[in-house]
Structure 1
Amino acid sequence: MADPIENGVSPKPKKAIVTEAHVAPLNDETSVAHKVGSEDPQRDEDTVYVKGHPVIRNGADVSKYLVSCRDDGDPAFTFRSIVLGSIFTALSSVITILYTFKPFQVQVSAVFIQLLVFVFGEAWALLTPNPNRVKGKWLQNTFRFLNFGQPFGIKEHVVASLIASSGNNGLSGVEVYAIERLFYDRSVSASTAVLATFSISLCGFVVAGLLRPLIVYPAEMVYWLSLPQVVLFQNLHFDRIANRGRLKKFGWALAFAAVWEIFPAYIIPWFSGISIVCLATINAPKSTRTVISTIFGGASSNEGLGIFNFSLDWQYIQSQYLSLPLKQQLNSWIGLVILYAALTGLYYSNTWNAKTFPFMSTSLFSANSTVFQPTAILNDQGVIDYAKLNDVGLPYLTSATVWGYLTQSIAIGALISHVIIFFGKDMVAAWKQARNRTQPDVHYQAMLKYKEVPHWWYIALFVLCFFAGLAVNIIGETTLPAWGYIISLLLGAFIAPFSCILYGLYGSGVATNQISKMVAGVVHPGRPLANLYFASWSHQVILLAVNLANWLKVGVYCKIPPRTMFTTQIYGTLLGAGLNYAVMTSIVNSQREILLDPSGNNIWSGSVVQSMNSQAVTWALAKDMYGLSGRYVIVPLGLLIGFFLPVLHWTLIKIVPRVKDYPINTALISAYAGINYYGNTSWIWSSIAVGIFSQLWLRRRLPNIYNKYNYLIGAALDGGSQLVIFVLSFAVFGASGTAYPFPSWWGNPSSGNPDHCL
């Protein structure tokens, strides 16, 4: 029995059938349909059919039946696409950095930007004069260059959306500058800011660029969360008359989501967390309700685990659970069961003095349970003063946070060995196929007519980024030594391919930023600012590689020339980084006092940058907190534990071969075993319900409906809910300066816990 990665990668196409279809036995109807389909010469013998329609099980099915291979040859790099991309880069990047300093964070979704670009692109085409209706060749040529009166094509749409989505690639570096200004009372020079931003923003592109034959071209590298965008792109532009019915359903779904979102987000917050257990115990003693809230509460941040707590608020659920493959969701469900057992057991067994501190919180605490202030142990240069540390004492973490850190370490270790053990041979085969231009994926073959980006383009870009970063670290303003900078890049380059492979195959990855902070703490003890810069460079290599690989796959699906993808990604990233830096400087200079206040106010808050600085301080104390004599030594040991989990999995397969039929991924299980150790948790069970409906029932029972509408309606629900949240943020949530809360009533309790758990 072949491993799932073999689908579309192995040179033996017969093995493509071995995928999610084996997670559970096929029913009789599906089996019969498959047998009948095999006898039909018009059908692929490796495809499973239900009622005459193919079931989407793997990347090969996505390529053949879900994403169109159509290529109209329309222009991609146009004046209109650059202008629209630039405008919406400004919108998305400025809003993102603005909300970094707000009491709550709003992220502009890719689908929301995609819809805005489409509306403005269509208006540009319809409301501008047609060049053929004006006299004068010069004027006609000018109008054509400006795309006046010209249809707004899919490739322009993709390029503009790509530019806009690239605007936040350099956010990490800008956040470090903000922390430096706020907590260390220093700022880098203009030249350092420019060079460091350029380096941090683009350093990871080389990994995705050089490894695209491995992480982009194979059919199995789907990047599942991008499918709603791809399907929406094609439905908005291909054969609009035939798709009119689907577009109407899209519009109705978007309108429904927009109207509905007003209720859970503003009028009836109880809809964001419905807990039957909490309602049944509403008159119980407070001590009982406190325990109930810990287990079943979840509508408020850090309230509880949210078991059997269901949310009807789509802004939290989102379409990713309509998109993620069943193999990913199965692993996530296993991880959640472990999460519930671990957090409950750790807290009530008082592990790491858990009961002294809140059940869930990411803050640092002193031994007496008061909030720990990192500035109390730093000197004027932002370096840890061990004399002050001896007086104050080491900070403590909640048991939930320690568990979250531990599972992140385990997941990172498991990620590396799992990819090597289970996907290694297939990755080698995929690399050889791409190098020989024999990769069988129909979309890859369709892209061969376009000029590929030469490897030396990516290498040249990296060389520029490398020397820009090397220069600023030699100057010394970052406090990160040049040798530490080189280590950070090597670490990121080592981890990035593993993250890209997992993300491409499963639609989600493993949070790897902790290993950057861990290594930084080891090589630069007592220097939190160096830790911040080290982690920024290292993690950006990983993050940018994943982001670029994801968009390169969108480009393959939508037939965007590779050189256009390369150029526009760089342009959008640099434009967004510059805008982020300008807005950050303005906010930090004008709101410094309130951003330093631990509480903030209803308009401004420094909670995000405060948390980042606290983590940097913690890992700067790595030897004391996570060393052999430290109370949290288990956290770094998690890397070793995680590394051997896939080895045990592989050994079990050798002993019991049937285990290979199940898509177990210990890296994903470990990641989800600690992914929700803080924040709002009421949406988890709703996401499980959505995943079961989409992947277990709709995909298998009604593949025709699934193929036509699953991703399209998911994109509509995302767009509608995001649109309303964006409007409500400025209208009533206080983003414009004044908040207008909805009056308190049973559905909007003044206690702050909408689920009535406490």
Structure 2
Amino acid sequence: MSKNDEITVGGAPALQYSSSGSDHLSDEHEISKTDEKDVYAGEGKATVTVGAAGLSDLQVTGDDFIDAEKQVDSLSIEDTIAIMKQVKEFHQYDQNFPHNVMMRVNEFLDADDLTDPQYRELIHEMKVEAILVTENSPYAEVRAIVDNFDEPELAVSTFRAYLIGTLFVFGGAFVNQLFTNRQPSVVITANVAQLLAYPAGTGLAKILPDWGFNLFGSRVSLNPGPFNKKEHMLITIMATVGFQTPYTNNIIISQYLPIYFNQSYAGSFAYQILGTLSTNFIGYGLAGLTRDFLVFPGFCVWPASLPTVALNKAFHDGSDTPVYGPLGRLYSASKLKVFYVIFAASFLYFWLPGFLFQNLSYFNWMTWIAPDNIKLAAVTGGVTGLGFNPLSTFDYNQITVQLDPLATPVFSVLNNLFGMVVAGFMILGFWFNNIYETAHFPINSNKAFDNTGKRYQILKIIDEKGMFVYEKYQQYSMAYLGAGNAVVYIFFFAVYSATFSYVILFHRHEIVVGFKRLLRRRKQIDGPNLSDDIHMRLMRQYKEVPHWWYGLTMLAAMGCGFACVAAFETYTTPAVVIYGVLMALIACVPIGMIAAVTGIQVTLNVLAEFIGGAWVSGNALAMNYFKMYGYVTTAHTLFFANDLKLAHYLKIPPRATFTAQMWATLVSSFVCTAVLNYTLKIDNLCTADAPFGLTCPGINTFFTAAVLWGTVGPHRIFGPGGQYTLLLIGFPIGFISSFAYWYARKRAPTSKFIRSLHPVMIFTGGIYWSPYNLTNFLGAAYVSAFSWLYIRPRHLAFWSKFNYIVSAALAAGVAVASVIIFFSTGISERSVDWWGNEAYAAGCDGEGCVLQTVAKGEYFGPRKGTFL
């Protein structure tokens, strides 16, 4: 397109292109209209004036629109119709796909006679959209940061990449394992690794000699040239794999500590490493086997991966086009400069809520009025209460406990918020009405309690082998849940049944396509075909990893699992490994599909407990192993699938990714296990008196589940006549909800509101309670709404350029500051003693007061000896 050309859409001027020849727009330029978007294209000025009705709804930036316009004439109406039919087939239920675009697609496909002049504008729009979905991505957020081209000449598996990646795995695994039992937890993310890897990589590129040799016709060098984006992402993938702490540590800690099961053999390094290797590598094997469902399809966006890709592009993409944004200004700052500024601000600010002024973290200002008011603390408190407080925190670490608000699609966040609020009111109803004796316990605790309101003592109902003793149980107490925990179980049951019914109703087509892709593998399909997007087509030039590689990895890992269970006094059959893996095989695709679309993972822990507890009733340890191989391997599968998507977006050869992930996983497994051994020796670990905040909220939840599901058993808790049987109502509610939603979509296909709903995400919001609360989520909703609902529709180019960079910078700043605070003040137990660090923990919100107390020597509930 030449300078001063004009493109018309349907006969009406839609895009005016002119060159200013300078770095600034002319003074007379106006941007007051909301249908006008300005960008720089190359060295000249491009003004995209969307004057044609409907074109502004394509959610496309000026640069993407210009690129699409160049190819419009090459596309026939017949090809456009074929592509739009596939768009409808693939995206009619896709909440990430723009609603207004789908409405225009339906209008296009329903047109009686496309030769009628009235449809010229619509045809042009659909051709533009067809080019976007075939040559780029149907999602603006992916187009903004993922390149639709490849540079196969770039070196990937270099010496410097493995050196830096291995060092990062050591450091990140060490820190994350050390912090995993802290509340709130502090996690070093992949963005921190990316931040540090760039200067490390560029530095090695300058100092390493160019020593090398020829191997199979290619030269392998110690320094193959400038540090590039694929090396950088390979290091990041190694770091993300290595930074994931093994969930098996929950089992080990709950076995080893005297306050839990008190089984000393859990301190054995051999026992620990066998369990860790088995779950890690089974998950990795499953991730590879499910690539056709969770990695290759274009609809599998994996939103959590986008900030990582954005940061990589900021380091290596030299083109930083100025964009118009809020306040009618032109923003010419580079993405890398914005990252460093936001990172520095986040790093410096976190010292306030993280160390100097901790009241900003738990900003429970309402409880300061009357600290000893039990009801006020329960409703508005942010420590042990529910956090019904419109301004409950000024700590970015708190509001990102559940999700990243800038990366997670806004429909997921708002559905979560709705479910969380509904569950919150249910918790209040349970507590104030003493349903299931919940008034005797703190309202939002995740611990198990006995019939005096004290913490449940598991050792009183088991023998030396950890097995359930019925007579001891009858003389002690039934196990009770707090109000928050009881309601959470309802939502867990609902989310499981809703997940499977939702996937059957809304993703069955994608599952069929996945099986077809699995069968045909790398065979190319002629003609327009959206089952393989541009990124999949570009990846076809590289040798794929055979499925048998992943299958063999999984079998070897299962062998480690058999050894872990059989070689120690676990009183459990090794068959638990097989049953758990079968559960993971069934669940990982539906749960993975929802995670790939929504950015939020449905966890299988409660379902694994339910099935495992029923299978091995009375044996909490056997149930934990079932949970480990049913739930944990599924969680690891999705973590690794997300990393495979990162490699897919950056066009890293699959075999290079496979090797890097295997190595990083092996190194991380040994490092995390070593740190775990150190952690077990910390005095008062997992108690209120634990140093460095190592109070173990995750371990407490894990232990509570072990008591309920493994030792006492599901039949006593949820079976006929059980004390919590009515909570099972969540199963039918969740299952029916997906059908109700499907019916609503059919009845109102044009409703944007209904299309934005997601029953699985609503129920997922309900499981965010106990011990967390609205303090850990409401701020995320504010940030998400501002970014996705205010900035994105008004300033798409600005949002596309900076949203994910800001996300990466904020997270990196918090993570780095947390690590420095811990090692500079936490280990030495230094603190600043003043009101600003004490008020949040004062009174009932800090203590977790109860609504009803029990007189000394008395107890509530059924009489001893009459328990089920």
Q: Distance in 1 between matches of 2:286 and 2:453?
A: 44
> Structure 2: which amino acid aligns with 1:358?
P
**The 10-residue stretch of structure 1 (421-430 or 183-192) with the greater mean CA deviation from structure 2:** 183-192
Q: List per-residue Cα deviations over 1:27-59 (Å, max 9, x = no partner).
A: xxxxxxxx99867689723699xxxxx9xx985
Change (3 A) 1:602 1:92: closer
Q: Distance in 1 between matches of 2:679 and 2:780?
A: 36
Q: Distance in 2 between matches of 1:607 and 1:194?
A: 23
Change (3 A) 1:548 1:393: same
Q: Distance in 1 between matches of 2:435 and 2:145?
A: 49
- Secondary structure in 2 aligned to 1:718? helix
Q: Which of 281, 284, 290 is matched with 1:202 structurally?
A: 281
TM-aligned CA deviation for residue 425 of structure 1: 1.8
Question: Are 1:273 and 1:754, in contact at CA under 8 Å, matched by a contact in 2?
Answer: no
Counterpart of 1:379? 463
Change (3 A) 1:188 1:295: closer
TM-score by length of 1: 0.86
Q: Distance in 2 between matches of 1:223 and 1:580?
A: 26
Let me know the Cα RMSD of the aligned residues: 3.4
**Map of 1:626-641 to 2, 5 A cutoff?**
626-641=718-733
- Secondary structure in 2 aligned to 1:303? coil
Counterpart of 1:507? 599
Larger Cα-atom Rg: 2
TM-aligned CA deviation for residue 694 of structure 1: 0.9
Matched, 1:740 2:830: yes
Counterpart of 1:415? 499
Q: Which of 1, 9, 12 is matched with 2:86 structurally?
A: 12
- Secondary structure in 2 aligned to 1:88? helix
Counterpart of 1:171? 246
Change (3 A) 1:491 1:137: closer
TM-aligned CA deviation for residue 480 of structure 1: 2.4
Counterpart of 1:115? 195
**Map of 1:180-579 to 2, 5 A cutoff?**
180-182=255-257, 183-187=262-266, 193-239=272-318, 245-274=334-363, 278-279=365-366, 283=369, 289-298=373-382, 301-318=383-400, 320-432=404-516, 435=520, 436-438=523-525, 439-475=531-567, 477-579=569-671
- Secondary structure in 2 aligned to 1:321? coil
Question: Are 1:274 and 1:755, in contact at CA under 8 Å, matched by a contact in 2?
Answer: no
> Structure 2: which amino acid aligns with 1:629?
G
Question: Are 2:623 and 2:706, in contact at CA under 8 Å, matched by a contact in 1?
Answer: yes
Question: Are 1:394 and 1:625, in contact at CA under 8 Å, matched by a contact in 2?
Answer: no
TM-aligned CA deviation for residue 78 of structure 1: 1.3
Counterpart of 2:762? 669
Question: Are 1:75 and 1:155, in contact at CA under 8 Å, matched by a contact in 2?
Answer: yes
Q: Distance in 1 between matches of 2:727 and 2:84?
A: 37
TM-aligned CA deviation for residue 525 of structure 1: 0.9
- Secondary structure in 1 aligned to 2:774? coil
Q: Which of 725, 740, 743 is matched with 1:648 structurally?
A: 740
Change (3 A) 1:64 1:582: closer
Question: Are 1:199 and 1:466, in contact at CA under 8 Å, matched by a contact in 2?
Answer: yes
Matched, 1:156 2:245: no
Q: Distance in 1 between matches of 2:407 and 2:212?
A: 49
Counterpart of 1:30? none
**The 10-residue stretch of structure 1 (159-168 or 714-723) with the greater mean CA deviation from structure 2:** 159-168
Unaligned runs of 5+ in 1: 1-7, 27-34, 49-53
Q: List per-residue Cα deviations over 1:559-583 (Å, max 9, x = no partner).
A: 1111111121121112111112222
**Map of 1:125-140 to 2, 5 A cutoff?**
125-126=205-206, 128-131=207-210
Q: Distance in 1 between matches of 2:595 and 2:298?
A: 14
Q: Distance in 2 between matches of 1:10 and 1:430?
A: 20
Question: Are 2:157 and 2:656, in contact at CA under 8 Å, matched by a contact in 1?
Answer: yes
Question: Are 2:374 and 2:844, in contact at CA under 8 Å, matched by a contact in 1?
Answer: no
> Structure 1: which amino acid aligns with 2:311?
L
**Higher relative contact order, structure no. (Cα contacts within 8 Å, ≥ 6 residues apart):** 1
**Map of 1:595-610 to 2, 5 A cutoff?**
595=685, 599-602=689-692, 608-609=698-699
Q: Distance in 2 between matches of 1:644 and 1:428?
A: 23
Q: Distance in 1 between matches of 2:832 and 2:120?
A: 59
Question: Are 1:103 and 1:600, in contact at CA under 8 Å, matched by a contact in 2?
Answer: no
Q: Which of 749, 773, 783 is matched with 1:690 structurally?
A: 783
Unaligned runs of 5+ in 2: 1-81, 102-118, 322-331, 526-530, 848-868
Change (3 A) 1:741 1:372: same
TM-score by length of 2: 0.76
TM-aligned CA deviation for residue 120 of structure 1: 2.0
Q: List per-residue Cα deviations over 1:68-126 (Å, max 9, x = no partner).
A: 12432311111111111111111111122223466763221221222122232222223
Q: Distance in 1 between matches of 2:470 and 2:91?
A: 61
Counterpart of 2:677? 585
Question: Are 1:377 and 1:389, in contact at CA under 8 Å, matched by a contact in 2?
Answer: yes
TM-aligned CA deviation for residue 420 of structure 1: 0.8
Q: List per-residue Cα deviations over 1:493-532 (Å, max 9, x = no partner).
A: 1111111100001111212111111111100111111122
Q: Distance in 2 between matches of 1:103 and 1:312?
A: 16
Q: Distance in 2 between matches of 1:613 and 1:82?
A: 38
Q: List per-residue Cα deviations over 1:219-271 (Å, max 9, x = no partner).
A: 11000011000111111112278797221121111111111112222223333
How many residue pairs get aligned? The number is 715
> Structure 2: which amino acid aligns with 1:107?
V
Q: Distance in 2 between matches of 1:755 and 1:70?
A: 58
Question: Are 2:544 and 2:654, in contact at CA under 8 Å, matched by a contact in 1?
Answer: yes
Q: Distance in 2 between matches of 1:333 and 1:554?
A: 28
Question: Are 2:213 and 2:220, in contact at CA under 8 Å, matched by a contact in 1?
Answer: no
Counterpart of 1:67? 146
Change (3 A) 1:687 1:433: same
Counterpart of 2:22? none
Q: Distance in 1 between matches of 2:844 and 2:567?
A: 54
- Secondary structure in 2 aligned to 1:203? helix
Counterpart of 2:204? 124
Q: Distance in 2 between matches of 1:675 and 1:178?
A: 23
Q: Distance in 2 between matches of 1:23 and 1:572?
A: 38
